[in-house]
């Protein structure tokens, strides 16, 4: 299955809520914030080009005719100020910690500043000809940067008042003003546009509510988009009655761009199989399945527990290779999950860092969860192979973690392909590198079939004992018969490895508090972890 791309988290109000203070669901707020950043670049770019034209190009084209009337003295400092504001707001919208709703509120302040800049330049000498550019800004800006109708109206009315304010500043300078009825008539379009701006604000808010209602799946309300890939999307969700947080994985076959009904049937069968496999597993180290089903429009979904942590891929990319003691601690928990699955005749077939999470669970951290049984293979005693593979002889899985027999497309694989993949995961955790590196997937699979692996101790600066090397190389044996017999044996062999000081709950707690304090539990009761680990690891 195509891996899910995990999206960056942003601070938000409760997911999926559309109220008077939050016009859109969070993922749409993120999109609106990105549009605001683009708008800032466009506005600032236009002002910058105009500044260059007036000060550089125009004097060359028309040296005898100054453009003071079109661009009076305040134009230069005002333009520079707008460019700086545009860059600052753009930078804030691109920050990982950007609060989307706050950014949109800043967008309203930015609108008022733009209106003031336009008005000061246009009304330096009061202009009574035509509609002000402020009116154009008032109409366009709310469509690009949505907000609640009340805030939109307030900002629009303040922006509409910038022309009268600029005229008042001109009067203070002693400039002769036109009659007040003329000024009132010229300013009227600004205020008409301010009320007209309520139309796009109301439409967008209504669409936000429709999106929110459309995201109700059974008893669950969808919220933020957490990740997406070629064959699925994962959303944060909560039970509408119990308020229990969850993650909902869904797939719409019609979005895959394939019209073959057989392919659609195969995808839905694979997705259903994943749900059924997860439902049959009860290890605390296998992600829990709450519910699954099909919506009226043919969208298949299943509801899982919401994890708070890091997948092994992100863990190594952010913090580098792990010490052997921690690797052993994490892998033994994976073994607990796989042991149960293998005992029921289930082979995962896509064990890789992205499908293994180290989480905060209650007061515990470094609690591993195994995800995504989308390529699970069931082997029944009567020899019937109920596989999610598309066809015999086709390799399924991820090439960097693929056992030789899988790469060869052999039909009679067993649970030891998962142990091979887990050896590749251990290699990644210890070294931050794949067992084999190749230019493409085909060459990668060839390396797994033919090339002996280099011991991980030779590819990392961390001290890796010969016993750890031996266990990992045993998992990576080309011949499945030379690997550990099962996940329980692998767990025992890992437990006997020389890793120096063992990775304890206290060490794990300190690591989480130091490196990911937002995910670490506030309090870890003494002995809480040691008890759970005794239960979790055979």
For the chain, the structural domain boundaries read 5-10+215-304, 26-207, 309-536
Mean pLDDT of 109-124: 87
C-beta atoms surrounding 61 within 10 Å: 8
pLDDT of residue 528: 42
Mean pLDDT of 143-165: 86
Indicate whether 260 pLDDT > 70: no
Indicate whether 266 pLDDT > 80: no
Residue pair 449/478 in contact (Cβ under 8 Å)? The answer is: yes
* Model confidence pLDDT, tens digit, residues 330-357: 999 999 999 999 998 888 888 999 999 9
350 is catalytic: yes
Least confident stretch, 111-115, 186-190, 240-244: 240-244
pLDDT band at 480 (very low <50, low <70, confident <90, very high): very high
Nearest partner of 448 among 390, 398, 392, judged by Cα: 398
Nearest partner of 131 among 107, 160, 154, judged by Cα: 160
pLDDT band at 472 (very low <50, low <70, confident <90, very high): very high
Indicate whether 131 pLDDT > 90: no
Write down the CATH superfamily of domain 309-536: Transferase(Phosphotransferase) domain 1 (1.10.510.10)
| φ/ψ of residue 111, rounded to 5 | -60, -45
Q: Which residues, 6 or more positions from 312, have their beta carbon under 8 angstroms from its beta carbon?
A: 330, 353, 354, 356, 357, 358, 425, 428, 429
Residues across the chain: 538
Higher pLDDT, 515 or 249: 515
pLDDT of residue 532: 36
* Model confidence pLDDT, tens digit, residues 385-422: 443 343 344 455 689 999 999 999 888 889 999 999 99
Q: What is the DSSP letter of 253?
A: G
Indicate whether 271 pLDDT > 60: yes
Q: Mark out the alpha helices in 75-179 (DSSP H runs).
A: 75-93, 100-122, 133-144, 149-160, 162-172
412/405 Cα distance (integer angstroms): 9
pLDDT of residue 18: 40
409/394 Cα distance (integer angstroms): 5
365/111 Cα distance (integer angstroms): 46
Share of the chain above pLDDT 90, in %: 34
Mean pLDDT, the chain, integer: 79
CB < 8 Å & 24+ apart, contacts of 448-454: 448/399, 448/402, 448/403, 448/404, 448/407, 449/404, 449/407, 449/408, 449/478, 453/427
pLDDT of residue 522: 55
Least confident stretch, 51-60, 221-230, 259-268, 467-476: 259-268
Mean pLDDT of 47-59: 80
Is residue 174 left, alpha or beta, with left meaning phi > 0 and alpha meaning psi from -120 to 50?
Answer: left
Q: What is the DSSP letter of 9?
A: P
CA dihedral 46, 77, 154, 122 (to 10 degrees): -70
Highest average pLDDT, of 172-181, 202-211, 388-397, 510-519, comes from: 510-519
Q: Give the CATH fold of the 5-10+215-304 domain.
A: Phosphorylase Kinase; domain 1 (3.30.200)
Residue pair 421/399 in contact (Cβ under 8 Å)? The answer is: no
Which of 163, 313, 350, 486 is flagged as catalytic? 350
* Model confidence pLDDT, tens digit, residues 487-531: 999 999 999 999 999 999 999 999 999 999 887 665 544 444 333
* Model confidence pLDDT, tens digit, residues 277-297: 777 888 999 988 888 777 666
68/489 Cα distance (integer angstroms): 85
Instruction: Say which residue the tokens 């808010």 belong to.
Output: 205
Highest average pLDDT, of 187-201, 430-444, 520-534, comes from: 430-444
Q: Which residues pair with 221 in a beta bridge?
A: 216, 238
C-beta atoms surrounding 517 within 10 Å: 9
Higher pLDDT, 528 or 438: 438
Indicate whether 155 pLDDT > 80: yes
521/291 Cα distance (integer angstroms): 27
């Amino acid at each position: 299955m195509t891996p899910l791309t995990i999206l960056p988290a942003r601070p938000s109000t409760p997911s999926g809520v559309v109220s008077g203070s939050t016009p859109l669901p969070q993922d749409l707020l993120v999109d609106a914030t990105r549009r605001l950043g683009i708008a800032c670049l466009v506005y600032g770019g236009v002002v910058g080009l105009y500044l260059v034209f007036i000060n550089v190009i125009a004097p060359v084209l028309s040296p005898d005719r100054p453009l003071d009337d079109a661009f009076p003295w305040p134009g230069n400092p005002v333009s520079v100020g707008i460019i700086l504001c545009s860059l600052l707001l753009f930078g804030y919208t691109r920050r990982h910690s950007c609060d989307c709703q706050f950014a949109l509120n800043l967008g309203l302040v930015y609108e008022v500043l733009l209106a003031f800049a336009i008005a000061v330049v246009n009304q330096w000498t009061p202009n009574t000809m035509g509609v002000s550019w402020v009116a154009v800004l008032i109409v366009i800006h709310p469509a690009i940067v949505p907000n609640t109708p009340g805030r939109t109206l307030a900002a629009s009315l303040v922006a509409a008042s910038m022309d009268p304010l600029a005229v008042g500043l001109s009067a203070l300078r002693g400039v002769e003003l036109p009659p007040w009825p003329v000024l009132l008539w010229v300013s009227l379009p600004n205020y008409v546009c301010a009320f007209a701006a309520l139309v796009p604000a109301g439409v967008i808010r209504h669409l936000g509510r429709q999106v929110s209602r459309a995201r109700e799946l059974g008893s669950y309300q969808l919220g933020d988009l957490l990740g997406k890939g070629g064959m699925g999307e994962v959303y944060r969700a909560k039970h509408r009655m119990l308020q229990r947080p969850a993650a909902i994985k869904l797939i719409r076959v019609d979005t895959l761009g394939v019209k073959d009904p057989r392919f659609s049937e195969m995808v839905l069968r694979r997705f259903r199989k994943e749900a059924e496999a997860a439902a049959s597993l009860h290890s605390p180290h296998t992600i829990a399945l709450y519910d699954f089903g099909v919506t009226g429009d043919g969208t298949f979904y299943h509801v899982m527990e919401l994890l708070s942590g890091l997948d092994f891929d992100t863990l190594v990319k952010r913090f580098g290779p792990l010490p052997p003691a921690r690797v052993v601690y994490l892998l033994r928990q994976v073994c607990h999950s796989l042991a149960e699955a293998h005992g029921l005749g289930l082979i995962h077939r896509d064990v890789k860092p992205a499908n293994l999470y180290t989480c905060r669970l209650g007061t515990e951290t470094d609690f591993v969860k195994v995800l995504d049984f989308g390529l699970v293979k069931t082997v029944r005693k009567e020899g019937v192979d109920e596989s999610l593979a598309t066809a015999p002889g086709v390799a399924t899985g991820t090439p960097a973690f693929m056992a030789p027999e899988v790469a060869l497309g052999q039909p009679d694989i067993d649970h030891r392909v998962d142990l091979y993949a887990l050896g590749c995961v251990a290699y990644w955790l210890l070294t931050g590198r794949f067992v084999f590196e190749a230019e493409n997937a085909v060459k990668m699979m060839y390396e797994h079939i033919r090339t002996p692996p280099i011991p991980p101790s030779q590819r990392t600066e961390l001290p890796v004992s010969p016993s750890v090397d031996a266990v990992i190389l045993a998992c990576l044996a080309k011949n499945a018969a030379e690997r550990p017999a099962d996940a329980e044996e692998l767990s025992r062999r890992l437990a006997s490895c020389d890793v120096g000081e063992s990775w304890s709950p206290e060490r794990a707690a300190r690591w989480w508090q130091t490196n990911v304090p937002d995910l670490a539990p506030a309090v870890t009761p003494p002995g809480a972890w040691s008890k759970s680990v005794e239960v979790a690891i055979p």
